[in-house]
């Protein structure tokens, strides 16, 4: 077997020939059809993130693997475009035996923190937590899809019919937009999402300059093979709910969602999803909607199959730990060994810190985010300790 050669390139050093090979490699296997594996997504991210790198794996003269990453301090990797990349991992040829461990080792990286790992080999997934990403396939037509979901969730869809009648009664105009081009709708969605981050104490991943630049670049991406789409619901001309999605040739990936609290009684977020799925079923284009993992009601009610998705740490070798990674390793060990509330607090704190570390590329932003996260963790630990002592 020919020895695999590896390269890790800055994006400005990537030739058009390599980009063409990357497109061909990705298009050859349906598992990579999600928009987060599109080479154009990586290119757009690289324009606004100086730490973006492209890992290459070659066997002879053949490119057998491509992996866009962010190379972070401590020889560590983060998913390209994180924290927004809901799917990630290497794009590999069907004819190679290369796995993620060997790829990371080949490009000089100790490991990657992952939250949307695409399972591809048993070794890489052995230390990950695997959940189900909720998928909706409407290729059989809208009536067939709704008939199936209605049999599985009759109470939900009975409620949705009642809420639809209520909206028609209470508003003179109920407008769903399948491709909303209005700047005001987009701005309102981002405002509501950032407000939600502040209200819930989560790190505001939309507040960084690079994230705003990326969204702006995506809004100007008009290729039907890879593009951004904004779907929305308006009641009497006022924004009720909206969702920003990324789409590839066959998949629409749910991304950023928000709704107006004043209209919560009408479940506007559910109607955005339902109308979007109906539009997908009745138009040419993608027929699969990816809502991601989780047990949100709309995900459960509108999903008709699931795909495995992993989260955790993928390492280049079993004990790929440098002194500056020891704290993270010890923290994860604590998550696994402590009982009940303390374990939950540690997991929540680590997720908050991960969001800070992956989204903040300037030291000042990192320090502020880490400080806020530590304060919330301390308060949660005090609460957990008080609960345990009662």
Per-domain residue ranges of the chain: 4-131+310-321, 134-307, 331-389
- 235: pLDDT strictly greater than 50: yes
Fold of 134-307: Aminopeptidase (3.40.630)
Taking residues 334-362, report their average pLDDT: 62
Summarised one tens digit per residue, pLDDT across range 195-206 is 999 998 888 999
CATH number of 4-131+310-321: 3.40.630
- 364: pLDDT strictly greater than 90: no
Length, in residues, of the chain: 390
Of the pLDDT bands very low, low, confident and very high (cuts 50, 70, 90), residue 192 is: very high
- The answer to whether the CB of 110 falls within 8 A of the CB of 104 is yes
DSSP, res 229: E
Structure tokens at 207: 């507040």
- The answer to whether the CB of 83 falls within 8 A of the CB of 48 is no
- The answer to whether the CB of 37 falls within 8 A of the CB of 45 is no
Give the CA angle between residues 282, 286, 290 to the nearest 5°.
110
Quick one: 361 exposed, middle or buried, by C-beta within 10 A (0-12, 13-18, 19+)?
A: middle
Bridge-based pairing of strands 4-10 and 52-59 is: antiparallel
Quick one: 181 exposed, middle or buried, by C-beta within 10 A (0-12, 13-18, 19+)?
A: exposed
Query: Which single residue is written with the structure tokens 């998550």?
Result: 335
**Average of per-residue pLDDT values in the chain:** 87
Q: How many whole angstroms separate alpha carbon 366 and alpha carbon 387?
A: 31
Phi, psi of 240 (to 5 degrees): -110, -40
The predicted model scores a pTM of 0.86
Residue, of 386 and 117, whose pLDDT is higher: 117
Residue, of 378 and 297, whose pLDDT is higher: 297
Q: What is the model's pLDDT at position 342?
A: 59
CA atoms within 13 A on the CB side of 53: 19
């Amino acid at each position: 077997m020919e020895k695999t050669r590896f390269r890790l390139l800055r994006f400005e050093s990537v030739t058009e020939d390599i980009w063409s090979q990357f497109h061909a490699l990705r298009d050859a296997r349906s598992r990579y059809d999600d928009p987060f594996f599109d080479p154009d997504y990586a290119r757009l991210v690289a324009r606004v993130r100086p730490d973006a790198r492209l890992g290459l794996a070659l066997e002879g003269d053949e490119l057998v693997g491509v992996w866009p990453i962010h190379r972070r301090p401590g020889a560590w990797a983060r998913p390209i475009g994180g924290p927004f990349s809901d799917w990630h991992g290497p794009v590999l040829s069907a004819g190679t035996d290369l796995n993620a461990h060997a790829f990371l080792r080949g490009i000089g990286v100790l490991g990657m923190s992952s939250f949307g790992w695409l399972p591809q080999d048993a070794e890489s997934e052995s230390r990950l937590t695997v959940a189900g990403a909720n998928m909706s396939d409407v290729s059989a037509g809208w009536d067939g899809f709704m008939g199936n979901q209605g049999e599985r969730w009759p109470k939900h869809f009975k409620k949705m019919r009642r809420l639809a009648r209520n909206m028609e009664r209470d508003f003179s105009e109920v407008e769903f937009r399948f491709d909303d081009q209005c700047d005001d709708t987009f701005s309102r969605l981002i405002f509501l999402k950032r407000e939600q981050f502040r209200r819930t104490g989560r790190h505001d991943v939309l507040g960084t300059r690079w994230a705003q630049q990326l969204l702006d670049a995506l809004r100007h991406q008009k290729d039907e093979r890879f593009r951004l789409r904004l779907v929305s619901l308006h009641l009497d001309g006022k924004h009720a709910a909206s969702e920003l999605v990324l789409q590839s040739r066959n998949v629409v990936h749910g991304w950023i969602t928000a709704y107006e609290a004043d209209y919560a009684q009408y479940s506007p977020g559910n109607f955005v999803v339902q109308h979007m799925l109906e539009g997908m079923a009745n138009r040419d284009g993608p027929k699969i909607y990816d809502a991601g993992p989780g047990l949100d009601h709309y995900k459960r009610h509108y999903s008709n199959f699931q795909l495995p998705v992993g989260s955790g740490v993928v390492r280049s070798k079993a004990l790929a730990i440098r002194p500056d990674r020891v704290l993270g390793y010890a923290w994860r060990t604590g998550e696994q060994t402590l009982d009940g509330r303390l374990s939950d607090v540690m997991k929540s704190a680590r997720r908050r810190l991960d969001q800070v570390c992956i989204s903040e590329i300037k030291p000042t932003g990192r320090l502020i985010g880490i400080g806020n996260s530590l304060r919330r963790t301390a308060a949660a630990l005090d609460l957990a300790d008080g609960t345990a002592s009662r």
